[in-house]
Amino acid sequence: MTGDDPGRGASGSSEDAVRALRSGMGQPLHGLWFLVPMLAYLLGGVQLMDWAEHWPDPVDQKGGLYRWALGESWRLPATLLLVAALAWLQWYRGRLSTASVVRTRLWSAAVGVYWIGLCAALVLHVIWFWAVYQGIDHGRTAGEPVLTWLTVPVLLLGVGVVPVVTTASAIRIVKA
């Protein structure tokens, strides 16, 4: 005896499974907690890159991390790809009740990959900020960049949430 209503049959358990998949990390829209800071880094990064160009710190420019950060051609495509993935996963989430079991499992795995991608991209954005920030001669700038105020909450988010989300996403992928 499983405790299910005998009148519901197999479709009742299927609906319960879909409902369980949609809860928690099955809500891609919660990824906005990661995407909004990434978009802020993207927009605020223009000021930071301008400062790095005009007021470079000759001491901190020798590292490979600084050179990597200045060749930042990955930030826009990665962020746009995650925004597109959010839109598609959220759209398909509404159709899970009519999807086959295989497609539902693929969606669940895609959600796991999406969350891991969000975590990785957020960490890379913070590393990018730190590398460029360290390469600026702060004695010649007019104050702190706007992104400095964003970085502390994002670091707290990253330290506290990213390991948990990444682990839960890996478990979700394995279960799919």
Q: Buried (b) or exposed (e) across 40-69, using 16+ Cβ within 10 A? A: bbbebbeebeebbeeebbeebeeeeebeeb
Instruction: Quote the tokens at residue 45.
Output: 């990064």
Is residue 79 in a domain?
Answer: yes
Q: Is residue 66 part of a domain?
A: no
Structure tokens at 157: 């988010």
Helices (H), 23-146: 32-54, 64-70, 75-93, 101-134
Asked whether residue 61 is domain-assigned, the answer is no
- Distance, in Å, from the CA atom of 14 to the CA atom of 29, rounded to the nearest integer, reads 23
Q: Is residue 44 part of a domain?
A: yes
Whether 39 is in a domain gets the answer yes
Q: CA 4, CA 15: separation in Å to the nearest integer?
A: 12
Q: How many domains does the chain have?
A: 1
Amino acid at 109: A
Per-residue CA distances from 68 to 44, 63, 132, 160 (Å): 18, 9, 9, 26
Full domain range(s) for residue 87: 12-48+73-133+146-175
Structural domain includes residue 1: no
pLDDT one digit per residue (tens) for the chain, 176 residues:
444 444 444 455 556 556 666 655 667 777 888 888 888 888 888 888 888 887 777 765 666 787 788 877 888 899 999 999 999 988 988 887 787 888 888 888 888 899 899 989 988 888 888 888 888 877 666 677 777 777 777 777 777 888 888 888 888 788 87
**What are 136's strand-pairing partners?**
56
- Assess if residue 58 is contained within a domain: no
Place of tokens 């960490």: 123
Q: Could you tell me if residue 64 is inside a domain?
A: no
- The pTM of this model reads 0.76
